[in-house]
Amino acid sequence: MAQPLITGSFYTIQHTNIWNCQNWIDECRDWGDESWRALVRDMHGVGMDTIVNSQMALWSRPLFPDPEMKVGKSLKLGCEDPAIVVADEAGQLGMKVWYGLGLYGRCSEIADYRALTKPWPDLWFDWNIALAESLMDRYKDTPSFAGLYLTMELGADPARRHTFNEEHVEFYERWVKSLRPVVGNTRLLASPGILDPGDYSRLARQLERFDIDVIAYQDLGGRATATREDYERISRAGEALERLAPLHREAGVELWANCETFSRPEPRSWRPVCLPGDMERIKHQLAVCSPPVDKVITWIYQGVWNRRHDLVQIGPPESQELYDAYQSYREDINRTQLIHN
């Protein structure tokens, strides 16, 4: 059972969605070492011990030095290798870092595709193997290395939303099987959207077929603003996590919750933007999603509710307000636990 606290977050060097992430993507492209280190220290200071890199390449351009171009021509950034800077600072603080690979064509050499329908192009798997090899060579021996994040998201079965889409499951089986000769027993993390409560007998068989170690279900709590529908959706996510917990224990797959701390503006445009979420809604997310799971992470601290200072000038002004509100909430939780203990 996890505490009702956020102990990890995704971070992005450069995200594929320049609109959604507009409050931090441009600034972070030019960051030097000290800003990346400051971001990690701030995350640690708000109680986080885990960092998940959302992706390590963008349109086949690696976000790290790749002089032999095994993956592609490296994207020019403000410092040579932000990920190694994050890894080093995290290691000094006792934190762990996951590294993202995958995510449709926007990170690989082939055209963008979402449905994961067959036939799957061999080139996609070949390129991901090359990316995995490069990530293992460069980051595996750092003290903070935790594993690899499978950015490609599993989808629910359109007809039975309490199970994964079978074609997606088959895709994951092939993907992981292609990676294992390269990554060995390295831990693998996935973060699909939450499934609906229902008959999970078919899902139990699907979980047994996965050769992955952690699933962090998105609670979908940040898809709008703090409306009644949001609270109802979050409550269903909590119910689903309660029912998923025993299946995960039996399958040996660790269960996390990915509680979304952003919100969408109203009226919603066809290009949504990540803005700071509502703290009362976030409290509800943590209250209902943390009891069944092993850990709570979030999309996303960086650019949404980060502490603002000279080295980390990202996010809208409201990001500092949400940071302060969460720190106050965290202090209350820790104080209450000390009293009870």
In total, the chain counts a number of residues equal to 341
Instruction: Convert the pLDDT of each residue in 293-324 to its tens digit.
Output: 999 999 999 999 999 999 999 999 999 999 99
Kindly report, residue by residue over 121-173, the tens digit of the pLDDT.
Answer: 888 899 999 999 999 999 999 999 999 999 988 999 999 999 999 999 999 99
Looking at residue 39, its pLDDT comes to: 98
pTM comes to: 0.95
- Computed over every residue of the chain, the mean pLDDT equals 93
> Within 13 A of 156's CA, how many CA atoms are on the CB side?
15
| pLDDT tens readout for residues 28-65 | 999 999 999 999 999 999 999 999 999 999 989 999 99
- The pLDDT value recorded for residue 113 is 65
pLDDT of residue 6: 98
Rounded to 5 degrees, φ, ψ at 112 are: -60, 135
**57 beta partners:** 62
Write down the pLDDT at residue 247: 96
CA atoms within 13 A on the CB side of 201: 1
pLDDT of 308 reads 97
Residue pLDDT, tens place only, 73-131: 999 999 999 999 999 999 999 999 999 998 777 777 777 766 677 888 888 899 999 99
| Residue 94 zone, left/alpha/beta (φ > 0; ψ -120 to 50; rest) | left
pLDDT at 249: 97
Look at residue 120 in the predicted model and tell me its pLDDT. Answer: 86
DSSP character string of 280-302:
HHHHHHHHHHSTTSSEEEES-ST
Q: Does domain 8-340 have CATH number 3.40.50.11540?
A: no
